[in-house]
Every structure is written in structure tokens, then in C-alpha cells.
């Protein structure tokens, strides 16, 4: 691949909001098994990940290309060569690279930063996870317990407003989720309600698009409110 073409791809990386130092490049020849034989390739790999974007140069021209890249799918498989049966110019490859950043690299990074409340709960003695071994798991909460849990739900709402500062639209969605928890106290047993608690936490993370640090803060807000109000969730 010509240096001028590599430099164009370098610019696309920066335009997508990344630094070239976050990637490593390799060059060589490959046969994709599509009947077109050996072709030169220039590959861009996102360091420390399975994500790669490979540009294939036509054997008969320095100015025609195809590409193969990782897909946003389980095990990050490769796409089919694009275009399928011909080559295209560098502008079209650059567009594909830009799409790859937004549809594959971006979601991959987001997944790495979203907190996993199930893992955090297990690592911290599972304070929020229900246990089938709990002899009371199938029972409903008593009136006193429901009153204390409703106070805890209210505390969570206040602390979220104070510490995470959601927008008005976000706060509306959060309040709806907390109200659902509130109403579920009257109809669900302890096991099922604790599952609602987990799904509510995850839903709020999604609503606020929280990073790891703020996700951990949300976890602490829930843990503090419910542990202080009632020792049911320890």
C-alpha cells in the first residue's frame, strides 16, 4: 500500500476521535480463498483487542481496494470482503473505516466500561443477589419491611439526583423505574423483588450511560440506602 494511502487512513483514525498510538499496523500478503489469489494487505488492529480492519490492494492497481473487518458480534468474526467481487477507490474504503469505528470499535469500548452489577455483587458478598437457599425467598415482605424498603427507594432517588445530577428527562425515567420497584413490593416475593432491584440498577446505568466510576457510585447509593434501612439485602 502506498504511503499516501496509509496517511489517508491515519487521518480517518484521528477524525474518528482516536489516536494512532492506540493501534498497531501490519502488512503482508494473504489469500482470502475467494478465487482472487494472493493480495497485499495493510491491517489496523486496535491494541489489546480482537478488532481489526484490513485493507486489500488490488493486484493490478495501487489505487483500488477491498476491505475485511471485525464485526460487532459474538467472538468478533470477520466480515465478508467488501466489495464482494470487485475493487473500489480509497474514498469508499475510508467511509467503511469510519463506519467501523462507530459501529464496532465504539460499542466494544462502551461494553468494556459499563459496570457489571452481577459480578460486583458477587465480589462483595452478593448483598443484592437473591439466593435459592434463603428459606424466606418465596415469601412476601411484611408490612414493616415494605415500609422500610419504600423509605430506601426514596433515599435512592434523592441520592441519584444529588450525586449523579440527571437531566429532567433522565430523572423522569429513573423515577418511573423506582416507582415500579415500589409497586412490585405488594405483588412479588422476596426473591423476585430482588431481581427487580438488579434490573432497575442496570436500567439506570443504561439511562444515564454511566462509566465505570459512576456506575460504582450508583451501586454504592443502592447498597447504602438498603443496608441502612433494612438488613434484608445483606
Q: What is the DSSP string of 116-149?
A: -HHHHHHHTT-SSS--TT-TTTTSBPPHHHHHHH
* Mean predicted confidence (pLDDT) in 179-188: 92
Cell reading at 140: 412476601
Distance CA 177, CA 63 (A): 55
* Mean predicted confidence (pLDDT) in 78-93: 92
Residue 232, pLDDT above cutoff 70 = no
Number of neighbouring beta carbons within 10 Å of residue 100: 24
Provide φ and ψ at 21, rounded to 5°. Answer: -65, -15
Number of neighbouring beta carbons within 10 Å of residue 186: 10
> Comparing C-alpha atoms, which of 106, 76, 139, 22 is closest to residue 10?
22
Sign of the torsion angle spanned by Cα atoms 120, 124, 127, 131:
positive
Distance from the Cα of residue 63 to its chain's centroid:
37
For 36, residues 6+ apart whose C-beta sits below 8 A from its C-beta are: 59
Locate cell 489489546: which residue? 48
What residues does 68 pair with on adjacent strands?
54
Provide φ and ψ at 24, rounded to 5°. Answer: -120, 150
- Predicted confidence (pLDDT) per residue in 65-79, tens digit: 999 999 999 999 999
Q: What is the β-pairing status of strands 65-69 and 39-46?
A: unpaired
Q: Is the peptide bond before 2 cis (omega within 30 degrees of 0)?
A: no
Q: pLDDT at position 126, please?
A: 41
What residues does 43 pair with on adjacent strands?
26, 54
Mean pLDDT, rounded, of the chain: 85
- Predicted confidence (pLDDT) per residue in 46-58, tens digit: 999 999 999 999 9
Q: pLDDT at position 79, please?
A: 94
Higher model confidence: residue 231 or residue 93?
93
Q: Helix H segments across the chain? A: 3-15, 90-100, 106-113, 117-123, 143-164, 168-184, 190-208, 212-229
Amino acid at each position: 500500500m502506498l504511503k499516501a494511502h496509509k496517511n489517508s487512513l491515519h487521518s480517518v483514525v484521528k477524525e474518528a476521535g482516536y489516536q494512532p498510538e492506540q493501534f498497531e499496523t501490519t502488512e503482508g500478503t494473504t489469500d482470502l480463498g475467494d478465487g482472487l489469489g494472493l493480495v497485499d494487505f495493510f491491517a489496523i488492529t486496535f491494541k489489546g483487542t480482537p478488532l481489526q480492519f484490513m485493507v486489500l490492494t488490488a493486484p493490478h492497481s495501487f489505487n483500488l481496494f477491498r476491505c475485511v473487518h471485525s464485526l460487532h458480534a459474538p467472538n468478533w468474526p470477520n466480515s465478508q470482503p467488501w466489495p464482494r467481487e470487485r475493487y473500489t477507490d480509497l474514498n469508499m474504503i475510508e467511509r467503511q473505516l469510519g463506519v467501523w469505528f462507530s459501529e464496532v470499535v465504539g460499542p466494544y469500548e462502551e461494553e468494556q466500561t459499563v459496570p457489571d452489577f452481577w459480578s460486583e455483587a458477587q465480589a462483595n458478598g452478593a448483598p443484592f443477589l437473591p439466593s435459592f437457599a434463603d428459606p424466606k425467598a418465596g415469601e412476601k415482605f411484611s408490612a414493616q419491611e415494605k415500609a422500610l424498603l419504600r423509605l430506601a427507594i426514596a433515599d435512592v432517588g434523592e441520592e441519584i439526583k444529588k450525586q449523579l445530577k440527571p437531566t429532567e428527562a433522565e430523572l423522569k425515567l429513573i423515577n418511573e423505574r423506582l416507582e415500579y420497584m415500589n409497586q412490585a413490593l405488594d405483588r412479588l416475593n422476596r426473591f423476585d423483588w430482588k431481581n427487580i432491584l438488579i434490573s432497575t440498577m442496570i436500567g439506570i446505568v443504561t439511562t444515564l450511560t454511566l462509566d465505570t466510576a459512576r456506575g460504582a457510585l450508583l451501586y454504592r447509593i443502592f447498597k447504602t440506602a438498603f443496608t441502612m434501612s433494612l438488613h434484608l439485602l445483606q
